[in-house]
Amino acid sequence: MSDKLDFSKELIGRRALVTGGTRGIGAAIAQRLLDAGAKVVIAARTPNDDMPKGATFVAGDASTGEGVEAIATKALAALGGLDILVNNAGGANAFLAGSWTIPDQAWHDSMALNLFAAIRLTNAVLPALRASKAAAVVNLSSAAATMPFGPFAHYGAAKAALNYYSRTLAMELAPSGIRVNVVSPGVIATPGSEEFAKATPGFSADDWLRNIPLGRIGATEDIAEVVALLVSDRGKFLTGANYPADGGMTAR
């Protein structure tokens, strides 16, 4: 008997939309859902060579109302409905001199991408989710929402707001059978984290590792596995919660 559980068929027949799904955590989530049998649409501004080959790509800027409308319309047309929504699109530039140097526009941009994108897209596809018999929403937040860090204050604040919104939405939609959860990654090896490390003078990976009790930087697959649990029938009694996937970093 194999010591590895086989979840390769648990999402057969499910239709999923993953924003920011062309690289990093989003691409890993999309691939994990594909591997479990789901039909997957990934959305981003532009395609790239690293995105999962079995997914359907739709173009759209999740940080704008027009972009969200385009994503929702194209995704629902391609899928014929929706069972799983993963609001993964997000990110922000660091302002290393401190929070007081973050310009107003950067605050607005961060809120648009890290908060309003999830709100707008959820609202746009909500009728399709209500029609599903196995609807689940997962919003990707961040450990930054609970760990103050000046250079990313605009990002952490937006994610903290996303956490509150997600919990509220979970309570509102629970009577309809729609589950809403949050996954909060810590330090994960992605193109974005690599770009941050290169752009930060004197930075070393040890600066991250000393704050992670498990002693390693996370892999994108670590996050994808948590999402797969939450959108599957294994997670059918889970809603309204925030799951830190950070190697124990926020447990200190």
pLDDT at residue 203, as a whole number: 66
Q: Which of 250, 189, 194 is nearest to 222 (CA)?
A: 189
Model confidence pLDDT, tens digit, residues 136-147: 999 999 999 999
Q: Is residue 250 part of a domain?
A: no
d(CA 162, CA 119): 8
Q: Is residue 9 part of a domain?
A: no
Highest average pLDDT, of 3-12, 15-24, 192-201, comes from 15-24
Domain range for 52 is 15-245
Model confidence pLDDT, tens digit, residues 216-239: 999 999 999 999 999 999 999 999
Residue 212 near residue 147 (C-beta atoms within 8 A): no
Looking up residue 93, the CATH number of its domain turns out to be 3.40.50.720
Q: Is residue 252 part of a domain?
A: no
Lowest mean pLDDT among 136-145, 167-176, 195-204: 195-204
Q: Is residue 251 part of a domain?
A: no
Residue 140 burial by Cβ neighbours in a 10 Å radius (0-12, 13-18, 19+) = buried
Task: Please give the sequence-ordered ranges of beta strands (E in DSSP) within 110-193, or none if there are none.
Answer: 136-140, 179-185
d(CA 105, CA 90): 16
Block residue for tokens 């204050």: 153
Residue 84 has pLDDT above 90, yes or no: yes
Q: Is residue 211 part of a domain?
A: yes
Q: Is residue 7 part of a domain?
A: no
Q: What percent of the chain has pLDDT over 70?
A: 94
Q: Is residue 144 part of a domain?
A: yes
Known active-site residue 243: no
Work out the mean pLDDT of the chain and round it to a whole number: 93
CB atoms under 10 Å from CB of 165, counted, come to 18
Q: Is residue 49 part of a domain?
A: yes
pLDDT at residue 110, as a whole number: 97
Question: What sign for the dihedral angle of Cα 214, 218, 222, 223?
Answer: positive
d(CA 177, CA 173): 7
Domain count, the chain: 1
Pairing of the two strands 39-44 and 242-245 = unpaired
Residue 1 has pLDDT above 50, yes or no: no
3-state secondary structure of 85: strand
Residue 67 has pLDDT above 70, yes or no: yes
